[in-house]
């Protein structure tokens, strides 16, 4: 693990057993490939769906750039690139909230719904950052506040206003909304689990399983950013033939 060398301007050497570094590399390529896929598909869609697919591509593209930095950071220091991680999330998670709005806009969603979700996601991430990087002794408290914001987002899309608009829209929009709801409930829940894994005195006994917080986050990012984007892509594709 400590067998690496870093010379500025050169490529850092990754140990052959550095599986964390491996997931950063794969994450990089996956996000790049997904971005190319979404961007290059844009022309085939009706105008009203293009923005949604464009945002899917922006999410994976922003992630790709951050993965380049995180990959290098990890290779150089063998340390969690927490700062880059949270900048990435602070940009991409609000964009995922925008996706919910863009899909439901066709069915009459108001901008206030979008702003409510964006603000909740920012509260969730800022408090999470405090717990993970600034005030670690109180990680449980920051995690709790963050978790409450997450819970409200889940409530909004599953049972709140957003769910009612989706139900009224029906058809492909409702089907896509439902799948995105599952992403937020199950896919996003991986992050708080990773957070707890990395918090002393909490569940970090699970470290014994050989799990690393960055691997958990990297896998979750791939599922949530690319998978989420594909659901939107699929909705645009299906709505095409209507
Ligand atoms: C592409 C990145 C995504 C979808 C990131 C999502 C991140 C979360 C849902 C993070 C949630 C957290 C909690 C609910 C509590 C502990 C702190 C966080 C920030 C890990």
The percent of residues above 90 in pLDDT, for the chain, comes to 78
Has residue 163 got a pLDDT over 90? yes
pLDDT at res. 8: 59
CA of 240 to the centre of ligand 1 (A): 33
Tell me how far the alpha carbon of residue 129 lies from the centroid of ligand 1, in angstroms. 10
C-beta 89 within 6 A of ligand 1: yes
Domains of the chain (ranges plus CATH)?
4-241 (1.20.1070.10)
CB 216 within 8 A of CB 204: no
At residue 17 the predicted structure's pLDDT band, cuts being 50, 70 and 90, is confident
Mean pLDDT in residue range 131-156: 95
142 token code pair: 């920051």
Is pLDDT above 70 for 217? yes
For residue 90, how far is its CA from the centre of ligand 1 (angstroms)? 10
- Cβ atoms of 67 and 196 closer than 8 Å: no
Residue carrying structure tokens 């506040």: 145
Does pLDDT of 207 surpass 80? no
CA–centroid distance, residue 172 to ligand 1 (Å): 28
Overall pTM surpassing 0.75 (yes/no): yes
Count of residues in the chain: 242
Q: What is the spatial distance between Cα 187 and Cα 193, in angstroms, rounded to a whole number?
A: 11
Report whether residue 75 contacts ligand 1, using a CB cutoff of 6 Å.
no
CB 139 within 8 A of CB 199: yes
- What confidence tens digit (pLDDT) does each residue in 43-76 have? 999 888 999 999 999 999 999 999 999 999 999 8
Backbone phi, then psi, for 45, in 5-degree steps?
-100, 155
26-51 average pLDDT score = 95
């Amino acid at each position: 693990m400590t067998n690496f060398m870093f010379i500025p301007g050169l490529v850092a050497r990754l140990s052959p057993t550095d599986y964390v570094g491996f997931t950063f590399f794969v994450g990089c390529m996956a996000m790049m490939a997904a971005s190319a896929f979404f961007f290059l598909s844009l022309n085939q869609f009706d105008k009203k769906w293009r923005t949604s697919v464009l945002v899917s591509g922006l999410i994976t593209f922003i992630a790709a750039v951050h993965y380049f930095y995180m990959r290098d950071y990890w290779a150089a220091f063998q340390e969690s690139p927490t700062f880059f991680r949270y900048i990435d999330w602070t940009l991409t998670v609000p964009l995922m909230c925008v996706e919910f709005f863009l899909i439901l806009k066709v069915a009459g969603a108001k901008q206030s719904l979008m702003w409510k979700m964006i603000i909740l996601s920012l509260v969730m991430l800022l408090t999470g950052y405090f717990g993970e990087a600034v005030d670690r002794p109180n990680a449980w408290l920051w995690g709790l506040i963050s978790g409450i914001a997450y819970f409200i987002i889940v409530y909004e899309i599953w049972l709140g206003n957003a769910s009612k608009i989706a139900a009224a829209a029906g058809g492909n929009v409702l089907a896509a909304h439902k799948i995105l709801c599952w992403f937020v409930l199950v896919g996003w829940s991986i992050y708080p689990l990773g957070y707890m894994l990395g918090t002393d005195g909490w569940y970090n006994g699970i470290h014994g399983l050989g799990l690393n917080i960055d691997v958990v986050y990297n896998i979750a990012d791939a599922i949530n950013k690319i998978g989420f984007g594909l659901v939107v892509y699929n909705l645009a594709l299906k709505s095409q033939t209507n």
